[in-house]
Structure 1
């Protein structure tokens, strides 16, 4: 681990973003898209039935794992008069919805007709922009075309029209989204990071190196959604080349708001950078019913920074941060002195969204103790 020269001298104003304030507030804001991103956004207030945000909402993106919502709904369509979800289905659907398991998605794709799944669900839900993967890529479920507005339509069906057992099963699993996805990526970006619970999320990512998985040992890339598409795929109607990171779901009591954020990033963008940028975009949105977490957003540096259960290295890490990701700091405290030559720091930052601590030595701050951050 090598700290970039001068990183300790970064101005605090450039390193943090205070987003505290009145609990439960969701002040109106225009969409703020970080430089280099292409974004499609839609936010629907279900209480009023109106959109509070729309930006390129009909633009089609490759869905990555967001398409797993359609795979699940198609599989559960017409499952009998009581619409119960059999135990055998739960064993596969739960990992697919909570941990975004690719193996389960691949099985459903091959067993239920592949592209025919998308054709059926387009007709059933009246989707306007959704389309199967392009010719030559029929086996790549993550190349299904999807837009922000169609994603809102999917959630509206799920919440307002789906049989109650189906709605409750799918939404409960989305509420129990695991921080560490099945392939090793930290999937609590965007909606899951910008707002306090209650939320329910289905995320999507594609085009990032599988070596960037940070929650646990990364798995081999799934053949259905490869990290590096063939160059010829760039000529398709939907961009299959730039890294994609999407955050979708519901926010607030009673699933007050539906949020869909689709983004494409410049080729070569790291997962931590994309994670940070999607977080900044999502925090700019007007999301009725949302509660925004109090704290300070600070940049971090280094690869695989360990998040510990306390301000010391004596206990095994809870998880690891994506490299260079921006993290919410709730407070700071003195703890074990950490040495990363030529630096030494005895201060530790508490990250409430991880319920754990990292050494301040990995925080981009002008001093060992972060300015303006309260003591724990």
Structure 2
């Protein structure tokens, strides 16, 4: 495959990125260190083009929902007691792992975290930090299943939340939830829950791990759009690969069925779901809830990037936005490394085709994807490492406008 004529003439040492990128590197030993599968399409690269700059913090903004995405959005400023963003706030989505907030609150209702057994405390920690499904299933089974949701609806005055459908009683991720009810859950945790419960659960949410226990990169949305302090509980369902490892991650334990329930008020259980929820800013100033559904077949990296763009468009008082340039990537299993060489340690692998924040770039080991080579490496501050520029969706070896480290 040859470079597109619109990119002009190239030498064998240049790196034409984008829709014309060939998939030849899979046969090379060096490329095996960087990328496990050669996969890229013109549509994916178009979707991963650098996104526009977000509005200044504190500026008025309207949620920018990417094409094909269904979203429910609520942003609540606790300082003013007012919403800065509201979009389809009462729309019901399947909760995926966001319901783990209700599972944890129910477990601790009327008791101190110190009263938990060591085993239960460990389950809560891994359920909230690493979004562990086995821990959630253990609590769901032990504490009444759907009755957990019923109790929390009554206790918190939730209006759009409901237990999973009768056809799937053990599927806690099929709990119905809305953006406005998600804000109510966080408001209870922040303003009404006993201090010990608040501090314990928020402490776990502040320690959200980049890689969940099922191998998915869960630092999208809030965690990628804003600098700390933040505390997040994310949710995903219906994807088959989520980055973090050089091989495909396991399908989310509670994957959607082949078809959804019927009826005007049925919650969609089929389309891939990706949710970002949490609190942002000093003093946990702002609560953010972004619930989304994506077209069938959407890759995790595409949905991850779309949720990031939507979140970055929001007016989130008190949030600090990270410095850098958002750039699309291509290829599967692209690794972030501790230094600018393929022999340095691998920190993680990126979700295929995801956008990354590039702070600066520097020369390092020359990477070859015959007949292309590139010795520039991008520093990714949110990962604390480097990736070779050869897998960035830009037309030249260097990223335009990004400074040298």
Aligned counterpart in structure 2 of residue 238 of structure 1, from 232, 246, 267:
267
The 3 A distance-change label for structure 1 pair 21 and 142 is closer
Query: Normalising by structure 2, what TM-score?
Result: 0.86
TM superposition shift of 1:341: 1.6
Counterpart of 1:250 in structure 2 is 279
Mapping of 1:1-376 within 5 angstroms? 5-7=19-21, 15-17=49-51, 19=53, 25-79=57-111, 84-209=115-240, 211-215=241-245, 220-221=250-251, 223=253, 225-226=254-255, 228-233=256-261, 237-376=266-405
d(CA) in 1 for partners of 2:55 and 2:96? 35
d(CA) in 2 for partners of 1:110 and 1:218? 29
CA contact (8 A) 2:243 2:350 kept: no
CA contact (8 A) 2:50 2:327 kept: yes
Deviations along 1:321-340, one digit per CA (max 9) or x if unpaired, are 00000000000000100001
The 3 A distance-change label for structure 1 pair 331 and 220 is closer
d(CA) in 1 for partners of 2:162 and 2:77? 26
d(CA) in 2 for partners of 1:21 and 1:263? 21
TM superposition shift of 1:314: 1.4
TM superposition shift of 1:87: 2.9
TM superposition shift of 1:79: 1.6
CA contact (8 A) 2:237 2:252 kept: no
CA contact (8 A) 1:190 1:279 kept: yes
Question: Which runs of 5 or more structure 1 residues have no equivalent in the other structure?
Answer: none
Question: Which runs of 5 or more structure 2 residues have no equivalent in the other structure?
Answer: 1-15, 23-41
Deviations along 1:228-266, one digit per CA (max 9) or x if unpaired, are 413254667100000000000000000000000000000
d(CA) in 2 for partners of 1:219 and 1:372? 34
d(CA) in 1 for partners of 2:368 and 2:248? 28
How many residue pairs match? The answer is: 368
The 3 A distance-change label for structure 1 pair 351 and 237 is same
Q: Tell me the SS of whatever aligns to 2:283.
A: helix
Alignment RMSD, CA only? 2.4
Q: Tell me the SS of whatever aligns to 1:16.
A: coil
Deviations along 1:190-225, one digit per CA (max 9) or x if unpaired, are 00000000000000000111x4443476665465x1
Query: Normalising by structure 1, what TM-score?
Result: 0.92
d(CA) in 1 for partners of 2:196 and 2:238? 35
Larger Rg: 2
